[in-house]
Structure 1
Amino acid sequence: MRQLGDLEAEIMDRLWSWGRPATAREVRTDINTQRPIAYTTVKTVADILHRKGMLARHKEGRAWVYTPTCTRQQYTASLMHQALGSNPDPAGTLVSFLEQITPEEAQALRMALRRANRRSDA
């Protein structure tokens, strides 16, 4: 899975945050509260995200309604897995990552590891 471009990320962020399907027009209206953008631009990028498998869509009347195919967490995990898999020294990469995280992030990582271990034991 590739990293998202700026507008792709902006569209996905809204859909993930809203937690509901939305049309390109709804996304455009929300983006326009911060900066002007054309409907056709949002529609084109939403279609690209659909072709990439990031968005599912269905018709409601004449409009396509878009829904993310994965959660924000699943997308981020996929990028992390890809970065580790493409690195000849994944352990070194993890050490460098751990040196950069906050104590709160380290605590979240410990909790996630405990949760993953419980799942694998079950």
Structure 2
Amino acid sequence: MRQLGELEAEIMYRLWAWGRPATAREVLVDLNKQRPIAYSTVKTVADILYRKGLLIREKEGRAWLYEPTLTRQQYTASLMQEALGGNPDTAGALASFVEQISPQEVDALRLALRTAKRRGGS
């Protein structure tokens, strides 16, 4: 899975934060609080995200309601997995990553590893 473009990310971040389906018009209204953007641009990018499989959509009246197909955490995990998969030295890449993260992130990583182990994930 490739990294999102700027507007793709802005749309996805809003949908993830809202935790509910939304129309392109709702996204537009929120985006316009920060910068002017055309409805057609938001609609086009939402349709691109739909075709990429990142959004599902359902008709409501004349508008489409868009909803993410995965959580922000799942999306981030897929990017991390892709980055690791392309590196022949996975252990080295992980060690470098851990050296760069904060102590709070290290604690979160430890918790995630313990949780995965309990679930039988490794």
Confirm or deny a common fold (TM above 0.5).
yes
CA distance, structure 1, for counterparts of residue 112 and residue 69 of structure 2? 23
The SS at the match of 1:7 is: helix
Instruction: Work out the CA distance in 2 between the residues paired with 1:119 and 1:42.
Output: 39
Structure 1 residues 23-60: Cα deviation after superposition (integer angstroms, max 9, x where no partner):
00000000000100000000000000000000000100
Q: CA deviation at 1:88?
A: 1.2
Q: Which amino acid aligns with 1:24?
A: A
Deviations 1:83-118 (A, max 9, x none): 000111111100110000000000000001000010
Question: What is the root-mean-square deviation in Å for CA atoms of aligned residues?
Answer: 0.8
Aligned equivalent of 1:82: 82
SS of aligned partner of 2:58: strand
1:60 corresponds to 2:49 = no
Structure 1 residue 5: Cα displacement: 0.2
Secondary structure of 2:12 counterpart: helix
Q: Cα distance, 1:71 vs. partner?
A: 0.1
Report what 2:107 is aligned to: 107
CA distance in 1, matches of 2:29, 2:17: 15
Q: Helix, strand or coil for the counterpart of 1:59? A: strand
Q: What SS is found at the alignment partner of 2:73?
A: helix
Structure 1, gaps ≥5 residues long: none
Amino acid at match of 2:29: T
**Who is 2:25 aligned against?**
25
> Could you tell me the percent identity over the aligned residues?
74
> What TM-score, normalized by structure 1, do the two folds share?
0.98
C-alpha separation in 2, matches of 1:87 and 1:28:
39
Q: Which runs of 4+ in 1 moved over 6 A?
A: none
Q: Distance in 2 between matches of 1:50 and 1:59?
A: 13
The count of corresponding residues between Structure 1 and Structure 2 is 121
Secondary structure of 1:57 counterpart: strand
